Amino acid sequence: MRVYASLGVQTPFDPTCSLVTSHVFSPGTLAAIRTALAVYSLTALIVNIVLQSVELDTIDSFFSYFTNLSYIGLCSYMWAASVQTIAYARHSRRFHTQSSARYEYPLQKWPRFLQFLHLLLWSTVTTFPFIVTVVYWVLLASSSTFQTRYSSWNNITVHAMNSGFALFEVLFTRAGPMPWTHVPFLIVLLGGYVGVAYITHATQGFYTYSFLDPKKQGAMLAAYIVGIAAGAVVVFSIVWCITWVRNRIWRRSELEKYGPRDGASDEVPMRETYHGKA
């Protein structure tokens, strides 16, 4: 289907296994790093949920914050990516002596809709964390940011390390660049969150972020909303350019290591999709 091809889902899907390999690290090392990031992010979420439930009594609003929702997405991606990378590493180790072996991982055989969701999730976790970091430290950080040991750790984790995790995916994996058709989905997700924020105000009586308060911001409210949406496009574009340049730099070693196999194209998979090939 051309629709899936335009969204980055090839046939065959990811023939050179770019989603589970790295220009720098072996599959086993990449799997270990992704697993470590997945474990840390899940631990951070559990600690936050427990503390906000037991001590701070703020759990009712936990899922109303874009920071927390985007961090859940980041955690979900790290777990999904680590499982796929572990499977690929085990498969490649098992057949490493067979030069003609086709290295595989489970996602390649899953339904195309799930393949698309995995690609879109990658786009979100390499876009939203940077927006969260910039918006927090520019607009929202205050004297209470490092007031306690918990607040210091939490703010560093969800407002700084989140971008570090995203940057790792951009620089040290072979994933991307994703097709530009993902941009509308990112805008829709951001727009959906604005709805969540105002539902929270209607049901719980507060704005999750002060810049969303129309009484305080007035005409600036529209500027903030449009600015963040534009920021998402800018961040996606920067990530696209970085991953494209990264792939061009490592192109020769990439072809030697990962492809082509079984008639697969020697192009970088996501870039191939961008040019309309399936």
Task: Say how far apart CA 53 and CA 45 lie, in whole Å.
Answer: 12
Number of compact structural domains in the chain: 1
Task: Say how far apart CA 191 and CA 228 lie, in whole Å.
Answer: 10
In Å, how far from its chain's centre is CA 160?
Answer: 14
How many other C-beta atoms are found inside a 10 Å radius of the C-beta of residue 125?
23
Q: If 0-12 CB within 10 Å is exposed, 13-18 middle and 19+ buried, where does residue 224 land?
A: middle
Task: Say how far apart CA 272 and CA 95 lie, in whole Å.
Answer: 27
Report DSSP state, residue 211.
Answer: G
Task: Say how far apart CA 262 and CA 278 lie, in whole Å.
Answer: 16
Task: Say how far apart CA 211 and CA 249 lie, in whole Å.
Answer: 41
Position 91 scores a pLDDT of: 85
Per-residue pLDDT band for 1 (boundaries 50, 70, 90) equals confident
Position 262 scores a pLDDT of: 46
Q: Could you list the residue range(s) of the whole structural domain that residue 87 is in? A: 2-274
Residue written as token pair 């989905």: 185
How many other C-beta atoms are found inside a 10 Å radius of the C-beta of residue 207?
18
Task: Say how far apart CA 67 and CA 204 lie, in whole Å.
Answer: 18
Reduced to 3 states (helix: H, G, I; strand: E, B; else coil), residue 48 is: helix
Q: At what angle do helices 112-125 and 183-204 cross, to 10 degrees?
A: 70
Q: Per-residue pLDDT averaged across 224-234, rounded?
A: 96
Show Cβ contacts of residue 229 under 8 Å, excluding neighbours closer than 6 positions.
Answer: 187, 190, 191
Q: Which amino acid is at 74?
A: L
Residue 43, pLDDT > 70, answer yes
Position 250 scores a pLDDT of: 86
Q: Per-residue pLDDT averaged across 69-96, rounded?
A: 91
% of residues, the chain, pLDDT over 90: 82
Residue 266, pLDDT > 60, answer no
Position 268 scores a pLDDT of: 40
Per-residue pLDDT band for 273 (boundaries 50, 70, 90) equals very low
Cβ atoms 235, 141 nearer than 8 A: no
Cβ atoms 107, 8 nearer than 8 A: no
Give the lowest-confidence range in 101-110, 202-211, 226-235: 101-110
Mean pLDDT of the chain: 90
Q: Per-residue pLDDT averaged across 114-125, rounded?
A: 98
